[in-house]
Structure 1
Amino acid sequence: MSPAYTAAALPYGALADQIEALLRDPTVVVPPRLVQPLAGGGSLFVMPATDARVAITKLITFVPDNGARGLPAIQGDIVVFDAQDGRRLTVLDGPTVTARRTAAVSLLAARHLAPRTDGPLLIVGAGVQGLAHLEAFHEGLGVREVLVASRSPASADTLVRHAKALGLQARRVDDADAALADCPLVVSATSAQAVALRGLPRSDAFVAAVGAFTPRMVEWAPEVCRQLAHTGTLVVDTRDADHEAGDLLQAGLDVGPLPSLGDVVRGAAGARSGPVFFKSCGWAGWDLAAARCVVDAARHP
Structure 2
Amino acid sequence: MKIYDATATAEALPWGPLVRAIDQTLTDLAAGRVQLPERWVLPLAPATHWFVMPAWLSAAAGDLAAMKLITYAADNPERGLPAILGDVLVLRASTGERLALLDGPTVTARRTAAVTLHAARQLAPRPVGPLLVIGTGVQALTHVTAFTEALGIDEVWVRGRTAASGLAFAQTLHQRGIYAEVATDLNEALQRCPLIVTATPAQAVCLQGTVRDDAFVAAIGAFTAQMVELDPALTRDMAQRGQVVIDSSAARHEGGDLLAAGIDLSAVQTLAERPARQDGGPVLFKSCGSALWDLAAARCVAVEAQA
| TM-score computed with the length of structure 2 as normaliser | 0.93
Q: Report how far residue 269 of structure 1 moved.
A: 4.7
2:87–2:105 Cα contact (<8 Å) kept: yes
The match for 1:153 among 163, 184, 192 is: 163
Paired residue for 2:286? Answer: 279
Paired residue for 1:43? Answer: 49
Compared CA separation, residues 93 and 226, structure 1 to 2 (3 A): same
The match for 2:184 among 174, 181, 189 is: 174
1:233–1:272 Cα contact (<8 Å) kept: no
Task: Report the RMSD for the aligned CA atoms in angstroms.
Answer: 1.5
Query: In the alignment, does 2:96 pair up with 1:86?
Result: yes
Code of the aligned partner of 1:94? G
Q: Report how far residue 270 of structure 1 moved.
A: 7.5
Q: Report how far residue 149 of structure 1 moved.
A: 0.3
> Which residues of 2 match residues 7-46 of structure 1 at below 5 A?
7-25=10-28, 26=31, 27-46=33-52
Q: Secondary structure at the match of 2:156?
A: strand
The match for 1:4 among 3, 7, 10 is: 7
Q: Report how far residue 299 of structure 1 moved.
A: 4.7
Paired residue for 2:296? Answer: 289
1:75-98, Cα deviation, whole Å (9 max, x unpaired): 111111111321111111110000
> Which whole-Å CA distance do the structure 2 matches of 1:106 and 1:28 have between them?
21
Paired residue for 1:70? Answer: 80
1:151-208, Cα deviation, whole Å (9 max, x unpaired): 1334323332332234332111223343111001000001101111111211001111
Compared CA separation, residues 249 and 95, structure 1 to 2 (3 A): same
> Which residues of 2 match residues 169-208 of structure 1 at below 5 A?
169-208=179-218
> Which whole-Å CA distance do the structure 1 matches of 2:177 and 2:125 have between them?
24
- Length, aligned pairs only: 297
* Mean CA deviation greater in 31-40 or 214-223: 31-40
1:177–1:197 Cα contact (<8 Å) kept: no
Paired residue for 1:125? Answer: 135
2:21–2:299 Cα contact (<8 Å) kept: yes
Code of the aligned partner of 1:73? A
Compared CA separation, residues 205 and 297, structure 1 to 2 (3 A): farther
| Sequence identity percentage | 52
> Which whole-Å CA distance do the structure 1 matches of 2:158 and 2:232 have between them?
23
Compared CA separation, residues 184 and 135, structure 1 to 2 (3 A): same
Q: Report how far residue 272 of structure 1 moved.
A: 4.7
1:121–1:185 Cα contact (<8 Å) kept: yes
Runs of 4+ more than 6 Å apart: none
Code of the aligned partner of 2:272? G
Task: Extract unaligned runs of 5+ from structure 1.
Answer: none
Q: Report how far residue 70 of structure 1 moved.
A: 1.0
Q: Secondary structure at the match of 2:89?
A: strand
Compared CA separation, residues 36 and 187, structure 1 to 2 (3 A): same
Task: Extract unaligned runs of 5+ from structure 2.
Answer: none
| TM-score computed with the length of structure 1 as normaliser | 0.95
Code of the aligned partner of 1:162? T
> Which whole-Å CA distance do the structure 1 matches of 2:96 and 2:269 have between them?
35
